Amino acid sequence: RIMAVLSDTQIKERALKGMITPFVDKLVTKDKQGSVLSYGLSSYGYDIRLSPSQCLLFGGVQHGICDPKDFDPDILKETELHEDERGKYFILPPYGYCLGVAVERLDLPRDITVVAVGKSTYARAGIMANITPAEAGWEGHLTLEISNCTPLFNRIYASEGICQLLFYQGDPCDVSYQERKGKYQNQPAEVTLARA
């Protein structure tokens, strides 16, 4: 069978069985404060939110080497959560790079893999959100990799949409991420650092 992207109906059906928690069954674009960066169910995807609980900025040190096989958490520093009439937000410095975490938890069945893509509004402001694929059988809160590609300070809004997930369904895999005991399985609702 050819892999296909799930539609809103298919995503909702699976989400109500626990694939996405918490699940918002429509695309939210406004709240009591006004417009928000959209989150929730869209036609062929689901927009996840950036958690206000944690945003770790690269820059705890100004020298040295970042080694993914021996990751030093001291190269990261907590960023302050700000709030004004537009909402809660973190500030990314010029060309800054940070790690955040998704509000939503995923529990993927063995026939669905997720790929994340950036949101148009952020891309137009010079913000790129990258998440590596979440393979069939993966469970947990996604760690979000967010980059400010501009020479300006840039806001990223907490509890609002940060990127869109696309759900691909194919034949069930022989060995799921869970069964092969992938090193990023069951990520908590906090940033998970690089592991060798």
Annotated active-site residue in 13, 145, 160, 190: 145
Dihedral angle, C-alpha 119, 124, 128, 130, nearest 10 °? 20
Half-sphere exposure of 26 (CA within 13 A, CB side): 3
DSSP letter string over 12-78?
HHHHTTTSEES--SSEEEEETTEEEEEEEEETTEEEEEEEEEEEEEE-SSSSS---TTS--GGGEEE
Provide the β-strand partners of residue 139.
107
Is there a catalytic annotation at residue 160? no
Structure tokens at 23: 């699940």
CB count in 10 Å sphere of residue 30: 9
Known catalytic residues are: 145
